[in-house]
Structure 1
Amino acid sequence: MYDKFVTLRLIDQWLTEDVGCGDLTAQLMIDPASTATFYMNAREPMTIAGIEVAAAVFTRYEPGCKVELKVADADKVEKGAILLVVSGPAQALLTAERTALNIVQRLSGIATETAKYVAAIAHTKARLLDTRKTTPGLRMLEKHASACGGALNHRLGLDSGVMLKDNHIAVCGSIENAVRIARRKVPALTKIEVECDGLDQVQEALAAGTDVIMLDNMSVADMKTAVDMVAGRALLEASGGIRLDTIAAKAETGVDFISTSRPQQSAPAVDIGLDDAA
């Protein structure tokens, strides 16, 4: 899903940030002619994301190295699994090591956390959505990680759909007027979503012909009422206050989607190491 050419530009930025004028330790300690083989391995159970990006870090810094992938993105692996094997000039591999590990640890952390949320609502019809609350510059990679964990991507950017929030509605005067304006100008196949924080707004959005209604920070009881009120005439998305310990009850109300930024914003990096094959 992510653009590989854009990712290569990001890798260049990451390497520039970390290497600076040169890897002082590797240049002082490692013979430029020496070669090595390293295994990248999982030190805990995880869902993989970004393994191809990690491989690209090595080949971007040292085109002459060889990388053999042992897993693919979205794979679930156990502790001890070998993720990739990289061989080549030892000095270059040690220089690129931290950048490669940082990105695969970060993205696999998001995928692993996302998978927990997906599993928590697997007994319902609701599907998990991610959000635009991503790290600047890493959105497409983090959304890729969400997808690896089983979530669906919400808007990739502001140009991906029409979402009318409270401030848009305030400027337009009402939900009815906001939807009318949007419907008149929006591309034919683009859905219009309206954020609602009360059942009265849900009724207004439904009457206005909204495609998707977001139930923002509503109680479980109000969500159930909204599901009955809408009766399938619009898609319903629950958002706000979504945590691993609350998501199941919200999904059980009968909503179609649940959106949360929590796996992207608070997922810990997973533990992945790079060890000498010897």
Structure 2
Amino acid sequence: MSLPAPLDQIAVRRAVEAALAEDLGRAGDITSAATIPGSAAARVVIAARQPGRLAGLQLAAAAFQALDPAISFEPEVEDGARLGPGDVIARIVGPARAVLSAERTALNFLGHLSGVATETARYADLIAHTRARICCTRKTTPGLRIFEKYAVRCGGGSNHRFGLDDAILIKDNHIAVAGGIEAALRGAKASAGHLVKIEIEVDTLDQLDRVIREGADVVLLDNMPPPILREAVMRIGGRMLAEASGNVSLDTVAAIAETGVDLISVGRITHSAATLDLGLDIALG
């Protein structure tokens, strides 16, 4: 698996600063200030406590170094790595107060994004024998979309559009207000720039036939069972990309992929992924 490009450092810094400000409040970490001498140093490790896929190292490192640039953050693995219980992810050395003050912010980012990557990998592994790719959606945590979509790529998935401004996706409500499939597609083609892709959602094979006649870049086949998906793929015949969506689960994803669709969008890899259990421990010896 090729790793995604590094996250934008400005976005990382802004997210980390906001999270630290939320945690430190008006008076800072009063527990560490009260119990730990200012001169104390700490050597700690972040380790996995359950199997999973890693994502979010840049955010974790930024959390520590934002509180004290003297903190050394040395990863033992890269984002995208498969983890087993006990695997060391990173070693951190620096002023103890700053290390412990940044701990929760770093682990919150790292655990959440690794959870997204882990859930994505579960789906991607189940369809590895097919041509299909797992895609995320816009069902993301407000303020964390670029990071969650990065985590999807770390888990072996692909990204759908990042927002309303980078692709045209015509859904059933658009079609209803526009006056039909043909009217919606013609309007989209008249206004889209030459680099903007057009996708349209259909619920039935009759609707699909109308899209095929009118033309689009991608068709979203919504809530179709595998036999209907297979027929849809045959009718499309490679003229546009076929994306399946709608209540996709770990139990159904393989059968969906085996119909020949190109993409399978799964909202739950971002909106319902469980946090991966990671811990920060004092390194002894």
Residue 271 (structure 1) aligned with residue 281 (structure 2): no
Q: CA deviation at 1:189?
A: 2.5
Aligned to 1:107: 113
Aligned to 1:41: 47
Aligned to 2:67: 61
Kept in 1: contact 2:126–2:254 (CA 8 A): yes
Distance 1:3 1:68 in 2: 20
Aligned to 2:243: 237
- Unpaired runs of at least 5, structure 2: none
Aligned-residue Cα RMSD (Å) equals 1.0
Distance 1:170 1:62 in 2: 55
The CA deviation string for residues 202-254 of structure 1, in whole angstroms up to 9 with x for no partner, is: 01111111111100111212111111111111110000010011101111111
Aligned to 2:17: 12
Q: Which amino acid aligns with 1:112?
A: T
Match of 2:100 among 94, 98, 102: 94
Distance 1:18 1:45 in 2: 28
- Unpaired runs of at least 5, structure 1: none
Match of 1:197 among 199, 203, 214: 203
Match of 1:136 among 131, 135, 142: 142
The CA deviation string for residues 161-191 of structure 1, in whole angstroms up to 9 with x for no partner, is: 0111111111211111111111111111221
Distance 2:236 2:146 in 1: 33
Instruction: Summarize the alignment of residues 174-213 of structure 1 with structure 2, pairs less than 5 Å apart.
Output: 174-213=180-219
Distance 1:167 1:36 in 2: 56
Match of 1:257 among 242, 249, 263: 263
Distance 2:71 2:197 in 1: 47
Identity among equivalent pairs (%):
47
Structure 2 residue matching 1:133: 3-state secondary structure? coil
Match of 1:156 among 157, 162, 178: 162
What is the TM-score with the length of structure 2 in the denominator? 0.95
Q: CA deviation at 1:77?
A: 2.0
Q: Which amino acid aligns with 1:187?
A: G
Q: CA deviation at 1:96?
A: 0.7
| Further displaced range: 263-272 or 129-138 | 263-272
Structure 2 residue matching 1:158: 3-state secondary structure? coil
What is the TM-score with the length of structure 1 in the denominator? 0.98
Aligned to 1:146: 152
Aligned residue pairs total 278
| Further displaced range: 247-256 or 224-233 | 224-233
Aligned to 1:173: 179
The CA deviation string for residues 111-145 of structure 1, in whole angstroms up to 9 with x for no partner, is: 01100100111111111111111000000000000
Q: Which amino acid aligns with 1:96?
A: A
Distance 1:160 1:6 in 2: 18
Q: Which amino acid aligns with 1:202?
A: L
Structure 2 residue matching 1:160: 3-state secondary structure? coil
